[in-house]
């Protein structure tokens, strides 16, 4: 059977593709700005859009939207990007504004449902980041829309540094599994 979606391949990764394949872990290779046509076929204007390319073989680039830009600024902010700010505005208000600091970071992308004008479509949302030790809730406030909260999680099985330190201090908890060790008193 030929899948109809294969008849109109895109140069960029899509929410529809992630919905079919499931979440995808990728490493950011570059962040650039390119002139692209509007997604609305009635508009013939081109405007600058952010495009993130990935290191993984065969991974197509991602056209980032404002929601995901805000999420990534928060995820890599607060020193979580592992880089020192080179200027006063690079990490303003706890946000990582220097996209060069995003390069080399590993993130998880998943599918979400979004409104594009009158149409409901599959979109892409950041669902995970290797730089996190605990889930991070990011509130995104877009013009003319209600604020919405998004949770970005660390890789499966990773716990916060604080949880790990508490468990290492307790003799009755296995530091590898976090489970109580039978017969050992705290």
Residues 65 and 102 in one domain: yes
pLDDT digits (tens, 9 = 90+) for 126-145: 999 999 999 999 999 999 88
Q: Rounded CA gap, 71 and 87, in Å?
A: 21
Residues 172 and 99 in one domain: no
Residues 125 and 139 in one domain: yes
Residues 110 and 171 in one domain: no
Residues 141 and 168 in one domain: no
Residues 126 and 174 in one domain: no
Q: Rounded CA gap, 38 and 28, in Å?
A: 24
Residues 86 and 121 in one domain: yes
pLDDT digits (tens, 9 = 90+) for 27-76: 999 999 998 876 666 667 788 889 999 999 889 999 999 999 999 999 99
At residue 83 the predicted structure's pLDDT band, cuts being 50, 70 and 90, is: confident
Structural domain boundaries enclosing 161? 156-186
Instruction: Look up residue 153 and give its DSSP letter.
Output: B
18: Cβ contacts below 8 Å, ≥ 6 apart: 24, 109, 110, 111, 122, 124
Q: Rounded CA gap, 73 and 81, in Å?
A: 10
87, pLDDT greater than 90: no
Q: Rounded CA gap, 76 and 72, in Å?
A: 6
Residues 124 and 178 in one domain: no
pTM of the model: 0.75
Q: Rounded CA gap, 45 and 19, in Å?
A: 29
């Amino acid at each position: 059977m030929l899948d109809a979606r294969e008849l109109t391949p895109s140069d960029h990764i899509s929410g529809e593709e992630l919905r079919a394949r499931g979440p995808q872990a990728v490493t950011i290779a570059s962040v650039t700005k390119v002139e692209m046509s509007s997604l609305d076929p009635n508009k013939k204007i081109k405007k600058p859009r952010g495009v993130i390319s990935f290191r993984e073989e065969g991974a197509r680039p991602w056209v980032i939207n404002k929601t995901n830009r805000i999420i990534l600024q928060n995820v890599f902010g607060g020193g979580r990007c592992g880089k020192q700010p080179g200027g006063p505005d690079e990490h303003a208000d706890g946000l990582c504004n220097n996209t060069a600091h995003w390069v080399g970071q590993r993130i998880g992308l998943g599918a979400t449902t979004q409104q594009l004008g009158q149409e409901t479509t599959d979109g892409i949302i950041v669902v995970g980041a290797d730089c996190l030790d605990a889930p991070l809730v990011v509130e995104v406030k877009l013009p003319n829309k209600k604020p919405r909260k998004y949770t970005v999680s660390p890789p499966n099985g990773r716990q916060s540094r604080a949880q790990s330190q508490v468990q290492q201090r307790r003799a009755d908890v296995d530091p590898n599994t976090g489970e109580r060790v039978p017969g050992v008193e705290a």
